[in-house]
C-alpha cells in the first residue's frame, strides 16, 4: 500500500509542554512538532521561532503570558523554513532577527517553500488564511549578534556556526545559564530534515562549533529538551550519526533509488519510529544525492517537485 504523502495523514494533535529552563527562560516542546522558546530581558522579551501561522503562534503566546507580560522586543528566527517563520506577525516584535543568508533565502525561495511545507505538514498550518505574507527580517548579521538582556541577566548571543540544516541557521546561546536554542541544527529524538542541507559541513565543522559551546541544556528544533552534559552530547551525537549514516549509504549507492533504499535500511532500526522519519527521508536523500554529485546549493522545493520525489522514492 502506498504511504501517504509526507505528513499529510498526520492529523493527531500533539501535547504541548511549556518548561521553565531557568529563571526567565522558557521552551515549548510538542512531541516532535517544532519547538519554540522565549527569554526574558530586564524589561523586554526575546522570542525564538514563530510557528507556522499567527493563530498557532497566539496559542503559544497565551501560554507564555501566564508567566510574563513583558513586551516582545526581539523575534529571533533560526532559519527560513515556513513552519518556523510564518506566524511572526502575531508577536508584534520591534525587531525580527535572522542570519543574513536567511533573508536571501526568503527572497529566493520563500514563496515556494511556503507552498511546499503547507502540503507536507497541513496540520501545523492552523488557520492558514491568518498568514499575512512572507516574513521579512528587520535586522540580520553574518557572524554574531549580541543582545544585552539588562539588569545583570547577561547576554543572549545569536551565532552562526556554518552551513548545516540550511545555508543560514543561527543558534541562540545563553552563556551564563549555559542554555542553547539550537534550531534544526540539532534534533533530540526526532528525525532530521536535510532537504535543504549541507550534509558534509553540518556533520563536521558546524556541529563541532555547536558542541564547543558546552551547553548544559539544549532545545533542539524538534523533540524533548536535552538536559545535562550527557543529554546534550547525546542529542548532538544522534544528529551527527544520522548524517554520517546518510553520507555513508548514499555515497556508496549507484543510483538515487538505491541510495534511498540503502539509507532507509541503515537508519530505520535506530530512527524509524522517531517523528517525521518517513516524511523526511525521500527529500533528504534527494538533496544529499545532489550534494554528492556537484550540486552546490539545494534545489528549490516546490509542491510539484515534492510529489515527484515522493512518488519516485517512497511509494
Binding site for Zn ion (CB under 5 A): 81, 184
Three cell numbers written together for 168: 543560514
Instruction: Report how far apart, in Å, the C-alpha atoms of 69 and of each of 45, 153, 297, 311 are.
Output: 9, 17, 42, 48
In angstroms, rounded to a whole number, what is the distance separating the alpha carbons of residues 313 and 178? 41
Smallest separation, CB 79 to Zn ion (Å): 6
CB nearer Zn ion, residue 72 or residue 182 = 182
Q: Say which DSSP state 19 is in.
A: E
The end-to-end CA distance of the chain, in Å, is: 8
The residue written with cell numbers 542570519 in the block is 99
CB nearer Zn ion, residue 81 or residue 163 = 81
CB nearer Zn ion, residue 80 or residue 289 = 80
Smallest separation, CB 193 to Zn ion (Å): 6
Smallest separation, CB 199 to Zn ion (Å): 14
Q: 145: which strand partners? A: 158
In angstroms, rounded to a whole number, what is the distance separating the alpha carbons of residues 158 and 154? 13
Smallest separation, CB 288 to Zn ion (Å): 16
Task: Assess contact for 50 and 57: CB atoms under 8 A.
Answer: yes
Smallest separation, CB 109 to Zn ion (Å): 13
CB nearer Zn ion, residue 45 or residue 161 = 161
CB nearer Zn ion, residue 45 or residue 56 = 56
- Using CB positions, name the residue nearest to Zn ion: 81
Amino acid at each position: 500500500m502506498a504511504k501517504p504523502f509526507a505528513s499529510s495523514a498526520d492529523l493527531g494533535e500533539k501535547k504541548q509542554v511549556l518548561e521553565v529552563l531557568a529563571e526567565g527562560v522558557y521552551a515549548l516542546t510538542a512531541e516532535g512538532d517544532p519547538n519554540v522558546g522565549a527569554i526574558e530581558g530586564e524589561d523586554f522579551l526575546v522570542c525564538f521561532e514563530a510557528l507556522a501561522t499567527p493563530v498557532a503562534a497566539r496559542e503559544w503566546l497565551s501560554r507564555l503570558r501566564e508567566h510574563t507580560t513583558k513586551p516582545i522586543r526581539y523575534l529571533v528566527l533560526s532559519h527560513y523554513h515556513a513552519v518556523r517563520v510564518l506566524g511572526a506577525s502575531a508577536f508584534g516584535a520591534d525587531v525580527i532577527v535572522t542570519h543574513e543568508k536567511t533573508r536571501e533565502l526568503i527572497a529566493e525561495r520563500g514563496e515556494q517553500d511556503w507552498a511546499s511545507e503547507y502540503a507536507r505538514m497541513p496540520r501545523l498550518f492552523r488557520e492558514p488564511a491568518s498568514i499575512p505574507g512572507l516574513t521579512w527580517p528587520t535586522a540580520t548579521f553574518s557572524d554574531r549578534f549580541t543582545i544585552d538582556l539588562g539588569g545583570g541577566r547577561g547576554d543572549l548571543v545569536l551565532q552562526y556556526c556554518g552551513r548545516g540544516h540550511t545555508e543560514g541557521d543561527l543558534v541562540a546561546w545563553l552563556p551564563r545559564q549555559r542554555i542553547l536554542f539550537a534550531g534544526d541544527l540539532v534534533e533530540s529524538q526526532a528525525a532530521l530534515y536535510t532537504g535543504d542541507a549541507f550534509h558534509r559541513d553540518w556533520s563536521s565543522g558546524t556541529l563541532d562549533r555547536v558542541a564547543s559551546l558546552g551547553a548544559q541544556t539544549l532545545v533542539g528544533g524538534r523533540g524533548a529538551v536535552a538536559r545535562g552534559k550527557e543529554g546534550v552530547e547525546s542529542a548532538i551525537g544522534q544528529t551527527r550519526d544520522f548524517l554520517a549514516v546518510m553520507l555513508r549509504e548514499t555515497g556508496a549507492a549507484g543510483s538515487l533509488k538505491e541510495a534511498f533504499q540503502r539509507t532507509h535500511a541503515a537508519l530505520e532500526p535506530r530512527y524509524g519510529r522517531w517523528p517525521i522519519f518517513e516524511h523526511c527521508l525521500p527529500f533528504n536523500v534527494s538533496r544529499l544525492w545532489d550534494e554528492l554529485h556537484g550540486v552546490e546549493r539545494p534545489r528549490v522545493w516546490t509542491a510539484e517537485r515534492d510529489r515527484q520525489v515522493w512518488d519516485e522514492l517512497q511509494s
